Structure 1
């Protein structure tokens, strides 16, 4: 079989200016991610060890927002308190417009920046206008959707107040009307299965009563960050929650982010693929290959990955092992959907 055509549906980038705590609250001094990460670094990381570039035929990538620092909405006007995320869009615009070279511009197929989806719809709509102005006419068409991370809200009352609130639901419906998607970031392992259950209900509310062609497209990140412990009740709870998510139309899931959730002691691609397989098999059974997409979570994959900065090819090898597993009976078309086709469809990259 020839090397797959890959669209990496989940990567992060940041310039020198935001490679610090001032740019990202989570980027503490000395941590391995507190340095610039640009597409030239991604291109180097995604090549097979030994320089066999054809082994990782990455056609393009989708950029996902990086949880940049922003102020409290009560601290001033929108352009001021949301300056960090708006500057993030300016950085992406510079890539698209060729500041980092033609190859980088072509490679950046889709953009999913941050947006204040928890705010009143008037504020959210104003932010979309500011985002469009910041992106400019060349980069704006590459903005395919937005993300607002939910996983850090570990108090159920706070979480539910946001996702069941009128603002959140109305803004999801507005994204659907505008033809824009929303990336879902929830965390079973660190947050709890209740996050998955609550966000599923919110997603159902956002689709309720909406014409099919105006329903917002959802893209679920990192398999909902499961515990990867088949012995515990969490696996069955995760299965039930994911099956509920899969019943929603226009909803897709990323095979990504596993290195951050796996227990210690798993080092070989075969071991890791074996551990992930029950979760992947369930996702396939309820979503089908047409709604599952490959993502690397680069450079976050390097932090707990088995090969540090060389972890991208390891993740690709793990995914290849899963896709070629005879017990999963995936056709060549199924496999290509996961490597690229689903991302192209979900994010409208064609």
Structure 2
């Protein structure tokens, strides 16, 4: 791999004034403000990150359209992962319409927030999944360990759907290895069994207790690497959520150190090449 573009495979932009971020409340003072490309630009530059994949943060089609509008004239946005109602019988038509936007690269249901942990296994998503596959779009899975059975059922049902597990399935790092590691590790190995599934090295700092360091994260990163291998891992910042328990440069530097045993080509894949291939990212003619 020859010097691939460095890509942040998972970050967010939002504006609370839009009114559809149910989880984002004024009490979350670190996050409760608008975040846009100008805020991220100096952080990206400090880590030599060329472009990013922006991921939905509200379960609305309106937010997806807003992100696509933002991406249209923003060269630093390589792709958008939006939201659609996957169980709507007309979801296929909606996906076909949204797919006319070249920067739409996938969709993400907010599974972690749904009241039914088994929803993705039980819901009738056939029309939506068929449309995702037809338009070469991807599926981001925002899950915890408790969703393992349901997600595995869904993945087995749709072997042609390219999928990625966000944030390493949010491991219980703050609770320590004695509490929840074994079940989480088993879930990760189960997901990795599906060859069409990738995983994001992102969100781990947020799941750790304050004061985390390389040693805190090392066993969790090691298992993700052992399960998925360097060709199916992609680095993401999860900024600005990351600001709850870290910062862009700190997480980027820690990730570099934690992957120091990889070859140059393998690291280049994790920090850009794998995301470019998975999301089918193309160069922005305006960039």
The normalised TM-score by structure 1 is 0.74
1:295 aligns with 2:222: no
Tell me, yes or no, if the aligned pair for 1:175 and 1:216 is still in contact at 8 Å.
yes
Tell me, yes or no, if the aligned pair for 1:47 and 1:313 is still in contact at 8 Å.
no
Shift of 1:163: 1.6
1:264–1:15: structure 2 CA closer, same or farther, 3 Å change rule?
closer
Counterpart for residue 127 of structure 1: 94
Distance 1:167 1:304 in 2: 37
Distance 1:4 1:349 in 2: 12
Q: Identify which of structures 1 and 2 has the higher relative contact order when contacts are C-alpha pairs closer than 8 Å and 6+ apart.
A: 2
Query: Per the alignment, in what secondary structure is the counterpart of residue 20 of structure 2?
Result: coil
Tell me, yes or no, if the aligned pair for 2:83 and 2:108 is still in contact at 8 Å.
yes
Deviation sequence 1:290-349 (CA, Å, 0-9, x none): 0000000011100222xxxxx10011111011011xxxx311111101100110011011
1:92–1:152: structure 2 CA closer, same or farther, 3 Å change rule?
closer
Counterpart for residue 197 of structure 2: 251
1:218–1:233: structure 2 CA closer, same or farther, 3 Å change rule?
same
Counterpart for residue 267 of structure 2: 335
**Aligned match for 1:347, one of 260, 279, 283:** 279
Tell me, yes or no, if the aligned pair for 1:11 and 1:299 is still in contact at 8 Å.
yes
Counterpart for residue 39 of structure 1: 37
Distance 1:283 1:315 in 2: 16
Q: Which consecutive unaligned segments of at least 5 residues does structure 1 have?
A: 49-55, 69-84, 99-104, 188-192, 208-214, 267-271, 306-310
Counterpart for residue 62 of structure 1: 53
Deviation sequence 1:258-313 (CA, Å, 0-9, x none): 122102343xxxxx2211111111111121100000000011100222xxxxx100
Distance 2:203 2:196 in 1: 21
Counterpart for residue 14 of structure 2: 14
Counterpart for residue 80 of structure 1: none
**Aligned match for 1:221, one of 166, 169, 186:** 166
Counterpart for residue 26 of structure 1: 23
Tell me, yes or no, if the aligned pair for 1:7 and 1:61 is still in contact at 8 Å.
yes
**Aligned match for 1:242, one of 181, 185, 188:** 188
The normalised TM-score by structure 2 is 0.89
Two-structure CA RMSD over aligned residues (Å): 2.1
Counterpart for residue 202 of structure 1: 154
Query: Could you say which structure has the higher helix fraction?
Result: 1
Q: Which consecutive unaligned segments of at least 5 residues does structure 2 have?
A: 283-287
1:152–1:86: structure 2 CA closer, same or farther, 3 Å change rule?
closer
1:231–1:28: structure 2 CA closer, same or farther, 3 Å change rule?
closer
Shift of 1:47: 4.3
Distance 2:151 2:185 in 1: 15
Distance 2:16 2:124 in 1: 34
1:115 aligns with 2:113: no
